[in-house]
Amino acid sequence: MEQSSSPYESYKKAGKIAAKVLDEAIKLIKPEVKLVEIADFVERKIVELGGKPAFPCNISINERAAHYTPKIGDESVFKEGDYVKLDIGVHVDGYIADVAKTVIVGSGRDDLIRASEDALKEAIKAIEPGVSTSYVGGIIEETIKSYGYKPIINLTGHKLERYRLHTGSVIPNVKTASGEVIKAGDVYAIEPFATNGFGKVVDESEAVIFRYIRDKPLRLRDARIVLQHVKKEYKTLPFAERWLADLMPKLKLYNALRHLVYNQVFHAYFILREKNRGMVSQAEHTVIVTEKGAEVITGK
């Protein structure tokens, strides 16, 4: 008999899958391993365990802070000493768990990584109903600065809703002038980013991750094919160009994607890199706010 589950149970299941897959994937990151092997492992394992990827497996290295996922035919490999941010998302029935961790290939952790991890831990401790997001941002900022690093000011945590990865409400990584009051029942992804660079990210010129925004009449037939497929498979959640590789030849696909972004039917997530090309670390958990505080759903 079909058992219907509550949003809470779906979040818990998504969180459990995300934590397990992240843990296993991190162990596979070694010199000369291809990035795409890890992305494929993550995305396959999520489905095996009963979830779906909420967004493409992000593998952002060194000064790249976020939004990189292997391209079609990507041959790039991990190198000794790389700062690897592995960021994965799982959804169960649209309820999303978002989790990330940073490792140095071949050597594990250092203070830059501890700075973001510790900031995440302190932020989670501070969260309870009635607390302002700005206050939490201040705790993240202070913790990262206490290690001698800078928080990245234009990256933030975010509130999650069903099939919505970013809802507008944010958890900043610094103390801000105004914030929002955190309420019981809210679900937030908290993700401090620390750097030895400038403390800000800028767009690279390229995007490999996209999301559907709205319908519009489209002149290009290939664009209509891509749009129809994306709406059916990924709804309003981000997807990778790599996931569309079987739809049509690569150049036709790139052309269709460009047309869809130009017409503002798709949002393009440009690859983000640190302004001064500093090294970047990230730590992320998803929490459900309860009367007692933040319940981490992506922990062990």
> Which CB, 201 or 265, lies closer to Mn ion?
201
- Answer for which of 189, 226, 253, 294 binds Mn ion (CB under 5 A) is 189
Using CB under 5 A as the binding rule, whether residue 295 contacts Mn ion is answered as: no
Using CB under 5 A as the binding rule, whether residue 241 contacts Mn ion is answered as: no
Is residue 98 part of the annotated active site? The answer reads yes
- CA separation for the pair 32, 255 (Å, rounded): 32
Is residue 166 part of the annotated active site? The answer reads yes
> Which CB, 100 or 139, lies closer to Mn ion?
100
- For the chain, the straight-line distance linking the first and the last C-alpha, in angstroms and rounded, comes to 30
- Tell me how far, at minimum, the Cβ of 144 lies from Mn ion, in Å: 17
- Answer for which of 29, 42, 100, 171 binds Mn ion (CB under 5 A) is 100
Using CB under 5 A as the binding rule, whether residue 260 contacts Mn ion is answered as: no
- Answer for which of 43, 63, 82, 98 binds Mn ion (CB under 5 A) is 98
Q: Are the C-beta atoms of residues 163 and 93 closer than 8 Å to each other?
A: no
Structure tokens at 169: 């409400």
**CA nearest neighbour of 189 among 227, 155, 219:** 155
Q: With CB under 5 A as the rule, give the number of residues binding Mn ion.
A: 6
Q: Which of the stretches 32-40, 120-128, 185-193, 214-222 binds Mn ion when contact is defined by CB under 5 A?
A: 185-193
> Sign of the C-alpha dihedral, residues 151, 238, 25, 60?
negative
DSSP state of 112: H
Residues 109-168 that bind Mn ion (CB under 5 A): none
91, containing H or E segment: strand 83-92
DSSP state of 160: -
> Which CB, 176 or 298, lies closer to Mn ion?
298
Query: Can you count the helices (H) and strands (E) in the chain?
Result: 6, 15
Query: Catalytic pick from 63, 98, 118, 274?
Result: 98
- CA separation for the pair 32, 241 (Å, rounded): 24
Structure tokens at 201: 């990210």
Residues 18-57 that bind Mn ion (CB under 5 A): none
> Which CB, 21 or 100, lies closer to Mn ion?
100
Using CB under 5 A as the binding rule, whether residue 280 contacts Mn ion is answered as: no
Length of the chain: 300
Q: Which of the stretches 31-39, 86-94, 225-233, 259-267 binds Mn ion when contact is defined by CB under 5 A?
A: 86-94
Cα 78 to Cα 28, 230, 277, distances in angstroms: 11, 30, 18
Beta strands 95-104 and 150-151: pairing type? unpaired
Is residue 161 part of the annotated active site? The answer reads no
Using CB under 5 A as the binding rule, whether residue 170 contacts Mn ion is answered as: no
Residues whose CB is less than 8 angstroms from the CB of residue 279 and which lie 6 or more positions away in sequence, other chains included: 62, 63, 83, 112, 195, 196, 197
Using CB under 5 A as the binding rule, whether residue 87 contacts Mn ion is answered as: yes
Query: Catalytic pick from 87, 141, 241, 295?
Result: 87
Is residue 87 part of the annotated active site? The answer reads yes
Query: Catalytic pick from 67, 91, 158, 285?
Result: 158
Residue type, 188: Y
Is residue 215 part of the annotated active site? The answer reads no
> Which CB, 141 or 284, lies closer to Mn ion?
284
What phi, psi does 24 have (nearest 5°)?
Answer: -70, -40
Using CB under 5 A as the binding rule, whether residue 182 contacts Mn ion is answered as: no
Residue numbers annotated as active site: 87, 98, 158, 166, 191, 284
List of residues contacting Mn ion (CB under 5 A): 87, 98, 100, 189, 191, 284
